[in-house]
Amino acid sequence: MENSERDIEVLEMVYKALEEDRVKVFYQPQFEPKNCTLVSAEALCRIENEYHEIILPGNFIPVLEKQRDPEAIRRFDWVVFTKVCRFLCRLRSYGMKLLPISVNLSRRHLTSDPSEHYLSTTANTMKIPHRYLGVEITESAAEDDPLELQRLIYKIRMQGFRVAIDDFGTGQSNFKFLIDNYVDIIKLDKSFISHNCEDPHEQVVVAGVIHIAKMLGMTVVAEGVEDIRQWNFLRDHNCDLIQGFSMGEPFTEDEFIDFYHGNGDI
Ligand code: C2E
Ligand code: MG
Ligand code: MG
């Protein structure tokens, strides 16, 4: 697909941000719903533009992903991954307990390049045990090349990193996916859980998916939890972890450290 004028502007903005180290990583906590314990976090990229405005990934990730050369998005994702490793080093340098952090990997990592080597080389250089790092791949990546996705998941898990399936429930073949792949975490897409949680069909489906995932030994994370009713509903249906605006917007590094510190984990 050809780049529009806007795409070219976006690409220039991203490359300049990479050069000038204006790619930022925000962190959204994931909690155990029963006791509100902070357990893990997801890394979400942003770009700080020249006017110090924060640009959300929806404005540039799709443009990077649609480039013919997958190097554009790969390079970006590796910058984010490296920053997350540095962040874990920072927590360690403060004497704080490390907690698992997952990064989003584009489906464009499915093609040939040995992504798992980059993950382990970077983590090993910074002496971060692999269990503290995870990757999130959207379920819809299986539509591109299900076998290649299966292979990538296997290789990444063999290196000791966690693999999460992101936006579960929005793709085409959810249950077949669960048969074909073993992953550590299933992230229930926010579209699964309405605000009032009163629809009996929704209740049965959410409870059923949580049950199936648990029977398969997977952890279930509900995404996009915005209010207390959803939180209680998910807690009552044994959802393992909850992530969403109910506990605020994703944090900057410093905000996350303050929050984590305040949660009594140091
Ligand atoms: P995602 O991985 O599914 O991340 C969750 C998105 O939902 C985030 O949007 C987050 O800010 C937002 N969110 C969190 N809680 C709530 C809530 O309670 N309600 C609602 N309505 N939304 C909530 P964000 O940060 O704009 O990221 C959008 C997408 O961009 C991500 O979806 C992910 O697919 C992609 N992305 C983010 N960072 C990276 C990255 O470093 N690399 C790649 N390849 N993609 C990334
Ligand atoms: Mg994600
Ligand atoms: Mg998601």
Could you report the per-residue pLDDT of 41-71, keeping only the tens digit for each?
999 999 999 999 999 999 999 999 999 988 8
Residue 213 lies in a domain: no
38: CATH: 3.20.20.450
Return the higher-pLDDT residue of 139 and 20.
Answer: 20
Q: So what's the pLDDT on residue 139?
A: 82
Residue 67 lies in a domain: yes
Pocket-forming residues, ligand 1, beta carbon under 6 Å: 28, 44-45, 56-58, 61, 77, 80, 103-104, 106, 136, 166-167, 190, 223-226, 244-245, 250
Q: Residue-wise over 68-77: b if at least 16 C-beta within 10 A, else e?
A: eebebbbebb
Q: Which ligand is nearest to the CA of 102?
A: 2
Percent of the chain with pLDDT over 90: 73
* Residue tagged 């020249």 (tokens): 50
Rounded to 5 degrees, what angle do the CA atoms 94, 38, 122 make? 55
Question: pLDDT tens for residues 71-101?
Answer: 899 999 999 999 999 999 999 999 999 999 9
Q: Name the nearest CA neighbour of 119 among 90, 149, 69, 155.
A: 155
pLDDT surpasses 80 at 116:
no
CA dist 153 and 170 (Å) reads 19
Residue 209 lies in a domain: no
Q: So what's the pLDDT on residue 266?
A: 46
pLDDT surpasses 70 at 134:
yes
Rg (CA), the chain: 18
Please state the atom number of ligand 1 nearest to the C-alpha of residue 64: 44
Q: So what's the pLDDT on residue 176?
A: 84
- Mutate which of 26, 185, 223 for ligand 1? The one with the most ligand atoms within 8 Å of its CB, which is 223
Q: So what's the pLDDT on residue 95?
A: 95
Whether residue 149 contacts residue 141, with contact meaning beta carbons closer than 8 Å, is answered with yes
Q: If you count them, how many residues does the chain have?
A: 266
Question: pLDDT tens for residues 191-205?
Answer: 888 877 788 888 899
Residue 132 alpha carbon to ligand 2 centre in Å: 16
Q: So what's the pLDDT on residue 161?
A: 96
SS3 102: strand
Print the domain residue range for 62: 5-190+249-261
Residue nearest to atom 44 of ligand 1 (CA): 106
Query: What is the count of structural domains for the chain?
Result: 1
207 secondary structure, DSSP code: H
Distance of CA 156 to CAs 163, 164, 213, 234, Å?
Answer: 7, 11, 20, 29
Residue 235 lies in a domain: no
Residue 243 lies in a domain: no
Return the higher-pLDDT residue of 164 and 177.
Answer: 164
Q: What sections of 70-196 are H helices per DSSP?
A: 71-93, 115-125, 146-158, 174-180
